[in-house]
Structure 1
């Protein structure tokens, strides 16, 4: 789509506004990640030969994700669900600094880990000492926002916040957090950044701003209030005469609810922009009639907001057993008659969740007051997302943030229309508020409202406005949910025919919410949503169930992934097997310099940690004995290296099956090494992958990145194999090798640890210590000189945890110690 993006296409429902190009152009957004991820999205361990207990979660994460020395995953949350699963969420840290959008979840049942899901940011070398002070970074952030007034500058707003949080020290004034953030077109360049939560009062906005801690540039903005600061058009909806929860106060009644969670409260901002100046809507006899409230001031919008919050709470409680948006009974506060620029006569055509409360404007030229039932449910849906997947409001993750809110708007509307006998259109979003067209969006026919119904198809927005088209590209998720619920047959924009049998809105909602709550992470994209929703359907209804088939084929219908291979109506085209990444991070000191197997014979220098030699191939016969030769090149000293050779005998795209690790051992020799293995008769005939991994770490496996060393891939053509296409078994192998047993990972010894005055340092193989640097837990270097002779004076250090960076003149080793 061209960059002259129409204003009407930018109608927001999370906030609801029309963005301007001028407002949007200065806002950096995270681009979608490449299809080839830097870590596995989902690791399934069911039926694996080596299972992990939940108590071994850290071990499972470290081994399966091949965490580097500087990487940490720290547990942040544990929850259990009705299916008997326990979910432990982990946050990534690099050298003690939090990595934004780097999070993984461990899923276990009956004490055994079944799968891991999430995304890890691979960071090789990054300076974690900021060059820009927090105060200076905050000024850069405030200059970027350019607001006339901020919330912490209003004493009344500060007092209200302190009262609400029951904390006299509470403040809106931003406190900087040092984090690592991936930026650039594909998030390939992690930067150290100061993160601030900046809440502006005039004009209203609230967002997390990330300031590069070295350059001072604002590199990313993640909206908390899901709208762009601009003008727009929205409206209110009516749901007939409803019974609303109120309470009696000072001789009248007000819109207060005490039985749902910690309460539902609805306030009147009186066409102003102050929450502290808001007052209660009151009625003398608790009979809130149209004669009193259907007036020029649109006071009947208060009843819609209160009913919308009440109806949304009931849906989540009755369908999912969830107590309010956070699952812990959080109070739902709604503010009606809000106007960000009082007195300008334009009205406020927006509605949004601001991270704390629901805010509704009265609309204007195009729209009525913005308190329709599906709009209320949509806004509270953003609060649900914040407390679950917390999808970043940018590009595909932002589109899914919007899409899930539309899904919950449709579900809440359908559920309550049935309860109360209301006439609503489930698949139109905002149909009650739009004065100029049928609705803001259509889930059944997105293209009718200018949204894509097919991934990167017609109407897909590829520009940078609207945070990367979050309110346009959400149409793909919306249409997937509609097809999953209702079913549909036809030919999609990719020219592929599809046929989906709908599962109904209850089952579809269960699949969608488990995807959002259990599996999705902040930076997930559409491909991840497909993977996770299929897994969610499998968890809920079983492998091969009608729901799993429908989930898969509904994604196929909207252009994300292949059709269901066992039950879909369309056979997907053949696909190339994709192997996991394996790469050494440092080849300065050692690398693979020779490989020979059959007609493959290659001598080489450094290849940057990985060499793709799959264009080179040799034939090996099933049942034959083969000898493979290889050697390491060293810059100077010869280190002990661990060698592994893998062959994917059953051609399933991994090296984890029995017998596929055909060679394993270690050697400190720079001479040519050899090993003999036997090709099993049950190997599958055809071309497959040969992988050779040389690493100084004995824990290195066939996947992931590691410290020192190199991986090389080649092809072998197996002849005479007997493995059937659907047989995943491989015969166990026996083989001889001239290699030694695998050497343990070479580590520095530091003692005593904890220490009080001095620590002694011993390098592997009795190497000579050439230099030592001391860093605090943040990675900041400290002035502790090394005097030599393998001993370090630490008496001047304060009590705490430190990291030693120790060099032998070539390699650098890192070891943690505690000063008492």
Structure 2
């Protein structure tokens, strides 16, 4: 809602001024707590989180926008008239016991009659975490988060305002990170799935002819001190990538005859290693080469390393956002898995007919990107990288309609990174995936221009729309309307790619919140256009018209 600036409403007393709490449906058990404050020049966005009896109400966030300390915009969700009996709820320890029993059964290997071995029971895993975080008390032992959950869309299978314990459980053998949620009042499992954002990639490999315009820019030209070949022990080498021919990238000279895929000119550490299915990242071997001219035989690993550097540079150059955390102090760990498939030069021929898989997750102070099989194309890597960036801003939930938007936004940034580096984009992104690795294979990926051709809806609630909480598993499918909206906005007869990127960045950094839906995305992009172009310009109306075209209309 727009706020009358002449009223000089105070942000600090917005929820507590006389009569206002009851007007918002807040009781004496409710508190709106400031959880973050971001400044953008003369503007400040302050986000509040609702707590009920000291328990976070997961979906209830509210943002206040000020210009020169004058409040002019307020939006978000408040759970009104919340009445939840918390008596008799499970303790954290009891909830964890239920979670571990369920995971042990889920991961039980009948062939070897073996149960999972958890990371906190393996000394090497615990020791490496303590060193990695520089914290002698660090442990993989799960800590529970108690929240009141309700997602304001029709894909969420939970009952309204359900009290939930959430744990992240790290298994060393088999190596997997699981997010599990336990009903704190009913002693039952609500959800169990992979902890990160999982994506499958079904696009046919590109040949050199697929890219009409190739920028001559190299990574070396985008770094500080780019006239130097040696950057504080880190050097510019060359690699043969899976899709982008030979490119420059940054490596570390470990010895006179050994270079490894490590880069500290970007973030605190950007390191690529090979995943064998059982390694702890800390102890996994570095990927090395005897020269800094890396061969085609290592293209899967070098493509991931190079592509992440390109994504890093895009967000730095376009938005002055360094790394996933913005200040360049994060640790980015890259897992490359190779399944034995063979390729000709630049990835034209693949022996594996299945789509590739890529994953982003943040765990124990590190950001991870994991790729397997064919997921070594630039827009795929940039998609996963963008998950880490978006997580620092809007913090969209990975499930329900917020999860759909999270995937769509990463798709959009994937195209922006690809277009920025290559000079053009093919407007096809990674394929539908699921929280539980259940997917439908489409050779042509996810099309922005023609979603119906890849079995995706072009309109909200239209053909191919998945209208049930199974969108948990098929949330990528329902990105169709958002991606097509972006295609229309970013076209040469609309905003263009650069301006569309600015609009998208302002949307995630200032207007979206964790529980945002398609309707919220519509209004968030409109307000972003108002911020950039002014309320009396034509651009905000263009944004709305293109949402209307994909059936995301003004709520009634």
Q: TM-score range by the shorter chain?
A: 0.7 to 0.9
Which of 20, 34, 50 is residue 75 of structure 1 equivalent to? Answer: 34
Give the SS at the match of 1:469: coil
**Conservation of the 8 A alpha-carbon contact between 2:300 and 2:338:** no
1:437-456 aligned within 5 A: 439-456=444-461
Displacement of 1:164: 1.7
What is the match of residue 425 of structure 1?
A: 425
Displacement of 1:183: 7.0
Summarize the Cα distance change of 1:275–1:263 in structure 2 as closer, same or farther, 3 Å threshold.
closer
Q: Distance in 2 between matches of 1:206 and 1:426?
A: 33
Q: Distance in 1 between matches of 2:480 and 2:368?
A: 24
Q: Structure 1: any 5+ residue segments left out of the alignment?
A: 1-42, 340-344, 419-423, 488-500, 563-574, 579-820
Q: Distance in 2 between matches of 1:52 and 1:96?
A: 26
Displacement of 1:561: 1.0
Summarize the Cα distance change of 1:279–1:346 in structure 2 as closer, same or farther, 3 Å threshold.
farther
Deviation string 1:277-304 (CA, Å, 9 cap, x unpaired) is 42112222212133xxx2xxxx211111
1:225-624 aligned within 5 A: 225-227=196-198, 237-251=242-256, 252-270=258-276, 272-290=278-296, 294=297, 299-329=298-328, 330-337=330-337, 349-355=356-362, 356-363=366-373, 368=374, 370-418=375-423, 425-430=425-430, 439-465=444-470, 467=472, 469-486=474-491, 501-561=493-553
- Total equivalences in the alignment: 479
Q: Distance in 1 between matches of 2:426 and 2:393?
A: 24
What is the match of residue 93 of structure 1?
A: 51
Displacement of 1:207: 4.4
What is the match of residue 19 of structure 1?
A: none
Q: Distance in 1 between matches of 2:121 and 2:401?
A: 35
Displacement of 1:62: 4.1
**Conservation of the 8 A alpha-carbon contact between 1:265 and 1:306:** yes
Q: Distance in 1 between matches of 2:390 and 2:80?
A: 26
Give the SS at the match of 1:336: strand
Give the SS at the match of 1:248: strand
Deviation string 1:82-128 (CA, Å, 9 cap, x unpaired) is 4x211112111011111112111211111111112221222432122
Deviation string 1:505-534 (CA, Å, 9 cap, x unpaired) is 111112122222212111111011111110
Give the SS at the match of 2:425: coil
Summarize the Cα distance change of 1:461–1:417 in structure 2 as closer, same or farther, 3 Å threshold.
same
1:56-67 aligned within 5 A: 56-59=13-16, 62=21, 65-67=24-26
**Conservation of the 8 A alpha-carbon contact between 2:31 and 2:51:** yes
Which of 87, 90, 93 is residue 132 of structure 1 equivalent to? Answer: 90
Summarize the Cα distance change of 1:74–1:438 in structure 2 as closer, same or farther, 3 Å threshold.
same
Displacement of 1:474: 0.8
Q: Distance in 1 between matches of 2:196 and 2:97?
A: 21
Q: Distance in 1 between matches of 2:381 and 2:276?
A: 19
Give the SS at the match of 1:199: strand
Give the SS at the match of 1:416: helix
The structure whose residues are more often helix, as a share, is: 2
Deviation string 1:230-249 (CA, Å, 9 cap, x unpaired) is x9978883212111111211
**Conservation of the 8 A alpha-carbon contact between 1:360 and 1:371:** no
What is the match of residue 135 of structure 2?
A: 167
TM-score (norm 2): 0.79
Displacement of 1:275: 2.2
Q: Distance in 1 between matches of 2:79 and 2:193?
A: 18
Deviation string 1:743-776 (CA, Å, 9 cap, x unpaired) is xxxxxxxxxxxxxxxxxxxxxxxxxxxxxxxxxx
Deviation string 1:691-750 (CA, Å, 9 cap, x unpaired) is xxxxxxxxxxxxxxxxxxxxxxxxxxxxxxxxxxxxxxxxxxxxxxxxxxxxxxxxxxxx
Q: Distance in 2 between matches of 1:379 and 1:529?
A: 20
Deviation string 1:293-333 (CA, Å, 9 cap, x unpaired) is x2xxxx21111111111100111011111111111212322
Displacement of 1:395: 2.5
Give the SS at the match of 2:272: strand
Summarize the Cα distance change of 1:103–1:437 in structure 2 as closer, same or farther, 3 Å threshold.
closer
What is the match of residue 149 of structure 2?
A: 181
Which structure carries more relative contact order (alpha carbon 8 Å, separation 6+)? 2
Give the SS at the match of 1:189: coil
Summarize the Cα distance change of 1:502–1:88 in structure 2 as closer, same or farther, 3 Å threshold.
same
Give the SS at the match of 2:249: coil
**Conservation of the 8 A alpha-carbon contact between 2:202 and 2:445:** no
What is the match of residue 114 of structure 1?
A: 72
Displacement of 1:466: 5.1
**Conservation of the 8 A alpha-carbon contact between 2:507 and 2:528:** yes
The structure whose residues are more often strand, as a share, is: 1
Displacement of 1:349: 4.0
Q: Distance in 2 between matches of 1:465 and 1:56?
A: 41
Which of 61, 74, 80 is residue 103 of structure 1 equivalent to? Answer: 61
**Conservation of the 8 A alpha-carbon contact between 2:181 and 2:189:** yes
Summarize the Cα distance change of 1:204–1:388 in structure 2 as closer, same or farther, 3 Å threshold.
farther
1:649-728 aligned within 5 A: none
Give the SS at the match of 1:350: strand
Q: Distance in 2 between matches of 1:150 and 1:348?
A: 30
Summarize the Cα distance change of 1:512–1:289 in structure 2 as closer, same or farther, 3 Å threshold.
same
Which of 49, 52, 73 is residue 9 of structure 2 equivalent to? Answer: 52
Displacement of 1:337: 1.9
Summarize the Cα distance change of 1:105–1:547 in structure 2 as closer, same or farther, 3 Å threshold.
same
**Conservation of the 8 A alpha-carbon contact between 1:351 and 1:361:** yes
**Conservation of the 8 A alpha-carbon contact between 2:173 and 2:278:** no
The alignment's C-alpha RMSD in Å is 2.9
Displacement of 1:65: 3.1
Which of 163, 169, 175 is residue 192 of structure 1 equivalent to? Answer: 163
**Conservation of the 8 A alpha-carbon contact between 2:360 and 2:370:** no
Displacement of 1:478: 0.7
**Conservation of the 8 A alpha-carbon contact between 1:375 and 1:430:** yes
Q: Distance in 2 between matches of 1:351 and 1:387?
A: 20
Summarize the Cα distance change of 1:395–1:124 in structure 2 as closer, same or farther, 3 Å threshold.
closer
Which of 203, 213, 225 is residue 184 of structure 2 equivalent to? Answer: 213
